[in-house]
Structure 1
Amino acid sequence: MPEVADGSADLPPHWENVKFRSSSEIRSHPSFQEAHDCLVDGLLSLYSNNRVLLRGLTEFVRAVSFMVIICLDALNEPEDPETWVTLSRLRDALRTMGITDARRISNIVNGLELDGFLTREISTVDRRTRILKPTEKMLETDRDWLAVFHAPLALLYPDEPAFKAALALDPAYQAAYRRISLSTLGLANRISQDNPIIGFFLSHNVGIRVLMALASMVRGKPDVRTLPGFYTAAAERAGVSRTHVSNLMQESANRGYVALSIPAGHYVEMLPILQDALAQWISDSLSGVDFVSSLAMPRT
């Protein structure tokens, strides 16, 4: 969200006076590298003990669908049919993020129901309507996600009550944050659009997880290269095959994001363009979280 975070984009009138940290302010913080590493490690460890979550929620469309259902539910008023979380409303909301494949959305919802993340309830007002309802398992999983994205901000700004609330897995803060999140989906989409290199990894199955593994394994190395065995190690961390990781790295090399050893397999070098892109995406994302948090906190 560089334009929004730096104040050059138009905001709705009721957002104009919101105080939040810009992307450039966050990236210039003396402890930004520590916050950067905090998010990398957080995303790398998130859901690591649950392969269902790992495979299902590190892929962009599934993760966004999961989050939007929770946002819609936070705004649900049982007596107002316009706010019910139906499959139709979910599809409408996902269009904001450029997700338009109705069949895929239905399949994702079916999968979430089978995995115990949501239920379908018959409306007491209109028995033809099925209302999607997040389970406590789904809400707990979302609180874990919120904690990972608030932890770097808590590191940079330890006195902020909102960041403390997120780290404490506070349901009241979660509800307030998610009520605001739906109206900021367009800004979240802009983060992806303005960071196309990271968008490339987000668009691939567990691609962001593999990228976090790469960033973690080259940390502190002057040559920014992994040790031998990266493909195997990343595959284990991401819950995919070694071939999947190898193919992703080959495509990344073709795009100029990484350099691969010859013969292949000895190392993967994270090139400066990817290092900078990751830092920019992290600072943009943290600014976005701070923005939503600034709107949500008065409602907690």
Structure 2
Amino acid sequence: MEATERAYATPDRILQDPRFPASRDVYIDAVLELHEAKPSTMELMLDGGRILVYGIVMALWGGYREDDVASWPTISRLKETVGWFGVASPRQIDLIVARFVQVGHLRIAPAPNDRRLRIVLPTPALIDHDRAFVRSHYEPLGVLFGRERYALPLAEDLAFLKAMRGAWIATLQTMAREIILANTRLLRFYSASAGMLMLMRLVRRQHLRPDGWVAVDYTDFGRRFCVSRTHVRTLLKAAAADGDIEVDARGRLRARPELVAALDSNIAGRLSLLDRSHAAAMACLSASDAA
């Protein structure tokens, strides 16, 4: 990456890079590979509330220190942080946490030295999944700026994961304000079960066709993303009714340029925050090595 005053790439820098289309395709392919037709991991991505509970639990785990009360990942702190995004109520967060505990993603434990409080922690299985999840998100940054730069996340290094997730906490309000809430075209997909994954699959297939038209098999989409055929059809038809998706005389679909641009902006924003967290994590690891 060219030398700049910043230690990380901004969203505009990423969008303007001629390699962005290739990196976007790598990003979408990696995310879909991690979740399609895999019910256990789909639990984490079914809607915006679940996506954020998962991500924020991992961020709080990254910054958790037993001797620092302010860092404890309590239920109340989780609810407060998820609340910045406006996609899940406190009651919905309780239900998501209960479900994640039931399927083995999370565990609830007494807080250190204060058994009146409960903290939320990822299970070893979720930490292993997160290593693969984070690697998949650094693959496109490797396309943009070289794989050597991101050697630790691409190797699923556990120390890097914890440092990076801890650093990610500092980016969450920016993510809520600038990436999620400001990008209004995507809000329907965040709020719908598997909505963002379905949008990514549609756009990815669209980019593979010269005319961009995609014959969508609603049953196949439902199977891939663990939702009903009716749910897929309802979501995509609602987007079409609002002008975000075109439908031709043969019933084929095509995301309009404005919706594709909204998805590109979302991906670039996420990659920028990941690059920012990478810089902070590397600085943290270097400081630990020097101590």
Same fold flag (TM > 0.5): yes
Contact 2:62 2:164 in 1 (8 A): no
Contact 1:230 1:268 in 2 (8 A): no
For the residues of structure 2 that align with 1:113 and 1:75, how far apart are their CA atoms? 21
How big is the alpha-carbon RMSD for the aligned residues of Structure 1 and Structure 2?
A: 2.0
Counterpart in 1 of 2:32? Answer: 44
Counterpart in 2 of 1:95? Answer: 83
Counterpart check, 1:113 vs 2:97: no
Contact 2:218 2:229 in 1 (8 A): yes
Contact 2:246 2:256 in 1 (8 A): yes
Shift of 1:131: 2.4
In the TM superposition, structure 1's runs of 4+ consecutive aligned residues that sit over 6 Å from their partners are none
Deviations 1:235-284 (A, max 9, x none): 22222121111111111111111112346xx3112222222222222222
For the residues of structure 2 that align with 1:232 and 1:106, how far apart are their CA atoms? 31
Matched letter for residue 49 of structure 2? V
Counterpart in 2 of 1:147? Answer: 135
Specify the SS of the correspondent of 1:56: coil
Specify the SS of the correspondent of 2:35: coil
For the residues of structure 1 that align with 2:87 and 2:11, how far apart are their CA atoms? 26
Specify the SS of the correspondent of 1:85: coil
Quickly say closer, same or farther: Cα 1:256–1:62, change in 2 above 3 A. Answer: same
Contact 1:55 1:206 in 2 (8 A): no
Deviations 1:177-231 (A, max 9, x none): 111111211111121123221232122110011111211222232221013x432
Contact 1:97 1:185 in 2 (8 A): no
Counterpart check, 1:72 vs 2:60: yes
Specify the SS of the correspondent of 2:84: helix
For the residues of structure 2 that align with 1:209 and 1:142, how far apart are their CA atoms? 17
How many residue pairs match? The answer is 280
Specify the SS of the correspondent of 1:129: strand
Q: TM-score, normalised by structure 1?
A: 0.86
Which of 231, 237, 241 aligns to 2:228? It is 241
Counterpart check, 1:294 vs 2:259: no
Equivalent residues in 2 for 1:170-209 (5 A)?
A: 170-189=157-176, 190-209=178-197
Deviations 1:142-185 (A, max 9, x none): 22221121110011111443x22112111111111111111211
Quickly say closer, same or farther: Cα 1:243–1:262, change in 2 above 3 A. Answer: farther
For the residues of structure 2 that align with 1:127 and 1:275, how far apart are their CA atoms? 49
Unaligned runs of 5+ in 2: 286-291
Structure 1 window deviating more from structure 2 (248-257 vs 98-107): it is 98-107
Which of 257, 276, 286 aligns to 1:272? It is 257
Shift of 1:127: 2.4
Specify the SS of the correspondent of 1:133: strand
Unaligned runs of 5+ in 1: 1-16
For the residues of structure 1 that align with 2:112 and 2:196, how far apart are their CA atoms? 41
Structure 1 window deviating more from structure 2 (76-85 vs 249-258): it is 76-85
Specify the SS of the correspondent of 2:198: helix
Contact 1:217 1:226 in 2 (8 A): yes
Specify the SS of the correspondent of 2:152: helix
Structure 1 window deviating more from structure 2 (229-238 vs 243-252): it is 229-238
For the residues of structure 1 that align with 2:227 and 2:203, how far apart are their CA atoms? 18
For the residues of structure 1 that align with 2:175 and 2:147, how far apart are their CA atoms? 25
Which of 254, 257, 266 aligns to 2:244? It is 257
Quickly say closer, same or farther: Cα 1:175–1:244, change in 2 above 3 A. Answer: same
For the residues of structure 1 that align with 2:200 and 2:236, how far apart are their CA atoms? 13
